[in-house]
Amino acid sequence: MFRNQYDNDVTVWSPQGRIHQIEYAMEAVKQGSATVGLKSRSHAVLVALKRAQSELAAHQKKILHVDSHVGISIAGLTADARLLCNFMRQECLDSRFVFDRPLPVSRLVTLIGSKTQIPTQRYGRRPYGVGLLIAGYDDMGPHIFQTCPSANYFDCKAMSIGARSQSARTYLERHMDTFLDCELNDLVQHGLRGLRETLPAEQDLTTKNVSIGIVGKDMEFTIYDDGDVASFLEGLEERPQRRVAQPDDEPAAEKPEEPMEL
């Protein structure tokens, strides 16, 4: 029995009880650039790695503003992410118009889960090929949620998705117990260190390839790009392997070929 007998549509099960189209959509998330989310008692932080298609192209946005109390970072197909982001914005606007209050973050994630579940069960549809990290703050405190193309969603203390994200998750697991009591700047530093673990040894984080989103108590969701990131990167120590690989008297290593930007 060949796999292609059972992967021609999302409604076809394999004899092993798997839906291959959903698994393929999950693989699309692993092709996107990495992003990290983590939270303390008072703040939730998103840190994302931006890519450019070429030297002539601008870096693509990886963190998107949804409402004053919530934002998302993405890994996967950007077009799918835009559609889901617009849906989330509309739901937040409806809540403010009808109930005169911000939409609770957990309720918003439930709505996203319901929307992404529909194409996993209908003939002729395909799953959304994007994973989201959702950072928000409401009456219950700060939140980090992860959503998947399979329509599953998880409430997380910290999480990383995207290409080479396992290295970042290892860092987050190692320091997870310290996050709750971290000051905001220390929390961002942990996010940057975790994100840096996903990079090859000859690369490092710069103001051009990093984006940061922060939300918290008495602080609306704010995105820091380009020069605004410099103050956070200043406190980040240089990678030891980078110092060894690229001494001052040697030219920088040629940039390795990146996987296709998604």
Expressed as residue numbers, the domain containing 207 is 21-233
Here the CATH number for the domain that contains residue 211 is: 3.60.20.10
Residue 152 falls inside a structural domain: yes
Question: What pLDDT band is residue 226 in, cutting at 50, 70 and 90?
Answer: confident
pLDDT of 1 over the 50 cut: no
Residue 245 pLDDT greater than 50, yes or no: no
**Average pLDDT of span 103-112:** 98
The answer to whether residue 8 sits within a structural domain is no
Q: In 3D, which of 142, 110, 130 has the Cα closest to residue 45?
A: 142
Kindly state whether residue 251 falls inside one of the protein's structural domains.
Answer: no
Summary mean pLDDT of the chain: 89
Q: How many domains does the chain have?
A: 1
Burial class (CB in 10 A: 0-12, 13-18, 19+), 195: buried
Instruction: Tell me, yes or no, whether 238 lies in a domain.
Output: no
Give residue 2's pLDDT: 52
| Residue 244 included in any domain | no
The reported pLDDT for the residue numbered 242 is 52
How far apart are the C-alpha atoms of 42 and 142, rounded to whole Å?
6
